[in-house]
Each structure stands twice: as C-alpha cells, then as structure tokens.
Structure 1
C-alpha cells in the first residue's frame, strides 16, 4: 500500500523528534562531563576548555575497569544460560505441544505482570537462605529466573510461526526430536535468538536494583549498580558523575550499533510472520 505525502512527512517528523529526544540527553551528559570537575554545570553549554581528563579520572578513581569486569562475568553466565533455557522451553511449547503447555504459558504470561520491585525482599531472604548473598550468584540466579517468562514467550512465538511442514518432512526423513531441533529449527531461530541475546545483554548490563540490594561490596556489583558508590565519592562533582555514567553506557551503545541490523531483522521477521 502506497503512502501519501502527509504520511511520509508525519513519519519523518516523528523520527526526527525521537532522534532529538534520544540524542539530546547524551549531548547534555557529554557537555557536562567536559566541564571542570569543580564546576556545577547548568543547561547545555559546550565548555571553552574541554576537560577530557575527567574520563580518565572517573575510570581510574571509580574502579570502572573492575566494575565492568564484574558486569561481564555476570553477563557471560546469565545470557547463555537464559538463551538455552528459553530456546528449549519455547521449542517444547511451540513445536512439541507438550501436555499442559497451555497452563505453563499462562503461568509465564502472569509472571510478566509481576512488578520487579515487589520481588526484591523475597529474593533477598532467598539469597540469604541459599548462602549466595553478597556474591555475584545473588544477581545471576534471580536474573535467569526473571528473564524466563519473556524469553520463553519470545521463542515460542517464533517456533509457532515456523511451518509445520518442515518438522513433518524432517520426521519423514528419519530425524528424531533432537536432530530436528538442531538441524531444522535452531538455524531458523538464529534471528530471534540474536535479538533476544541483545535484549538480555542490555537488561543485564543495565541492572541496577538487584546488585545494590543483594551485594554489599560496591566493587563486586555491576557497573550500573556501582554508580551509587561512585556518586558517594563525587557527590559534589557533577562532571565526574556524568563522565562515569558515559563510560558505563558506552558498551551498551556499541553492542546496539554493531548488532542493530540483526535486531531489526528479527523484529521485522516476526512482524511479517504474524
């Protein structure tokens, strides 16, 4: 269906507005980070003498390298395990149509409606009982569980839309369940898996509340969760706070820019199938 000039121009205007609303806060943070450390910046104004050394000071004094390493360790466990569990469960619910799958799906959808903040206190006492409190496992294990409802629902939606003729043809050729999954379903699921991996990475890297509540040592938290400790050090230095925040979000921006095509392709693929 062809669009008229009004639709095209309104779409461009909305995209331009979204771009401004997205980029303007980043520009404001950069301009504030480049101000002298003892200055309290107000508004958006590019400094006459940019203090690029603020980023070095924030990185070294704020132990950002160690905090990023902690975040990467958590991501390295949470993302692969969550992807594996979501893929297997989505395949079972979407292709195998296991008994009781409808009730399981409803249970998972209900899990999406629970406010995350309401689970913090139960998770604290659970981590205390398991002996994982004040360790990275106190963040890793809850994140895997919290990501399951969305991940399973996402992968099930993909597997349901795969033509059943492909599975039937594989069975006729003598393929078992695991052979069909590995050779037929899994290659077709790569776009959905890549998009889900990006979302898992972003959510894990930006996790703030869990590390702050469940880990006492600020240097063992995620990079985002340690900003409270960083703010305590530099509560009077807004430029250094902005410099530290920019360093933390740089990996997220890089990951999204590198994998944006795969992410958009997976979303468009789901839209076309539905």
Structure 2
C-alpha cells in the first residue's frame, strides 16, 4: 500500500517541479527587474502627483488656499470652487460640446483614415510613397498657420461659433495621421487573404468591410481613443472658431477663469479637476480595448 502511494505521489512531485508557474514563483527577482520595478513606481508617482495636487487644492476655501502651501491638506472640505465653476461657467453645456465634438471627430477621422489607407495601401495607387509623405507633412504643419485661412473660410460659410467648424477641421487633421499610419499597415496586408475573398465573389467594398476592418480592428480602436483625447484637449483652433457662450468647450471655459489681473485659483483648480474626470472615465472604459490594440500582432 505504501509503495502504491509513493508511486502515485512521484508523478505529482515531478509535475509540480516541471510546472513553469511554480518555477517562476520560486525564482528570485534579478537586480535588473528590481531596478525596472522601482523606475515604474517612480514614473507612476510622477504622473499621479499633479492629480494629487488637484485633489488637495480643489476642496480648499479661498482663505485656506491663500494661507497655506499647495502641498498642505485642506483644513476642511470646501465645495465653493466646484459649485461656482459648475453654475457660473455652465459646465454641463461645455461638457456636452466637448463630448459631441470629440466623439464625432474620432469616428469620422477613423472612417476617413480607413478609406484613404485602403486606396493607398491596398489599391496600390501610383505615387503611393509621395502621397503617404504628403500626409506625413500635413501633420507637421503648425496649427497657427491654419488660423487665418480657416477663420475666413468659416466666416464666409457662416460656421463660426458652430461646433461643425471644429469637427471638420480636426477630422481632417486627425485623419491625416491615421492615413499615414494605416497606409503603412495595409501596405503589408497579406495578398492571399484578399485573393481568397475575391475568389469567393467578394467585391472591394465587401473585402474592406468583412476582411480588412476586422483584422485591423484593434489598431482602429487605439486610433479612436487617441483621436478622442487629442480633440478633447485642443485649445487654439476652438478658441478661434467658437465665440458664443453656448459653443464653448471645457478647455475654453477653463481659460475664462484666468483673469487679466486676478484669478480665482480655487475655482480654476476645481474646474480643472472636474474637467479631467470625463477623460479618466473614458480611458477606464476603453482601457482593455487600448491594451489589446497595442499588443495586437505581438503573439501569433
């Protein structure tokens, strides 16, 4: 009986010894791994530090803020700054404008990028390299150079103080980057897959919709997240095009809190804290999508 028990226990011991999970748990960390871990923690603290400053100062009263250091905790929680920013600056309206503009720009820019890159990368148009280079150069143009011509154009079209002026502008700007990125990606797309789809009777539109887009969907998800965040944080061109109070975005109403001679710091800090909450929520919702898009293709 004892021999049988020992014989049955031996394979279990060998299995536990051969288990890679157990080996990884038993292996001590190397010096390089500890250094990387320390650097990662320090990097996280550097990123979190501005948010902690906002949390520490957003709930201070003006008197408490004036008599204390920005690194000091508030003596008592005061919601005056948040209340003032929410009521006087019409934050709900600005929040809706930012969400509306950023969402449409992200969706339209991704669609336009896919169509452009399909023609360039899959269609193999003549002068493909020069066209891609042109899209790359479009991303290098400073926004200040676009200020005057676009302002006159939208003034003639009656689109000033209209969210569509910002939507059209940033759809084109973001799509230029998306086209440059996706053209390089689709240029290496396996021809065998497209030939098999064509033999099954798929048209070019069907191949794009049912074959290419599902394959590059993780990359498109990453582009959409970045386009949304980039458009949310835009300031210069929306400042030029959106002049009426009902058309302002979140960065623009924050700028209005900076007075020429005096600034309500507590209200500004509270407004900054409130303004970043939607982007944090958006990032948390699409965090898994973003991670999948970045690691797509790393393991076959």
Q: CA deviation digits over 1:187-226, x for unaligned, max 9?
A: 1121111111101110111111112122222441211122
Any gaps of 5 or more consecutive residues in structure 1?
A: none
Report if the CA contact (8 A) 1:90-1:152 is conserved.
yes
Report if the CA contact (8 A) 1:75-1:204 is conserved.
yes
Q: CA deviation digits over 1:11-54, x for unaligned, max 9?
A: 22221121111100010011111110343353311112111353
2:33 alignment partner in structure 1? 8
* Cα distance in 2 between the residues matched to 1:131 and 1:177: 38
Q: 1:113 aligns with which of 127, 136, 140?
A: 140
Q: 2:88 aligns with which of 54, 61, 79?
A: 61
Q: Which runs of 4+ in 1 moved over 4 A?
A: 270-273
1:175 alignment partner in structure 2? 202
Shift in Å at residue 150 of structure 1? 0.7
Q: CA deviation digits over 1:220-255, x for unaligned, max 9?
A: 121112211233499442111111111111111111
2:295 pairs with 1:260: no
Listed as ranges, the matches of 1:72-221 within 5 Å are: 72-221=99-248
SS in structure 2 opposite 1:195?
Answer: helix
* Cα distance in 2 between the residues matched to 1:234 and 1:75: 32
Report if the CA contact (8 A) 1:195-1:266 is conserved.
yes
SS in structure 2 opposite 1:97?
Answer: coil
2:45 pairs with 1:33: no
* Cα distance in 2 between the residues matched to 1:226 and 1:233: 15
Q: CA deviation digits over 1:162-181, x for unaligned, max 9?
A: 32221111112221111111
Higher relative contact order by CA 8 Å / sep ≥ 6: 1 or 2? 1
Report if the CA contact (8 A) 2:113-2:178 is conserved.
yes
Q: CA deviation digits over 1:96-140, x for unaligned, max 9?
A: 212332221111011122222332233222222332222222212
Give the alignment's Cα RMSD to 1 decimal: 2.3
Report if the CA contact (8 A) 1:234-1:240 is conserved.
no
Which structure has the greater CA radius of gyration? 2
Residues paired across the two proteins, number: 271
Could you tell me the TM-score, scaled by structure 1's length?
0.90
SS in structure 1 opposite 2:251?
Answer: coil
SS in structure 1 opposite 2:76?
Answer: coil
* Cα distance in 2 between the residues matched to 1:27 and 1:112: 34
2:74 pairs with 1:50: no
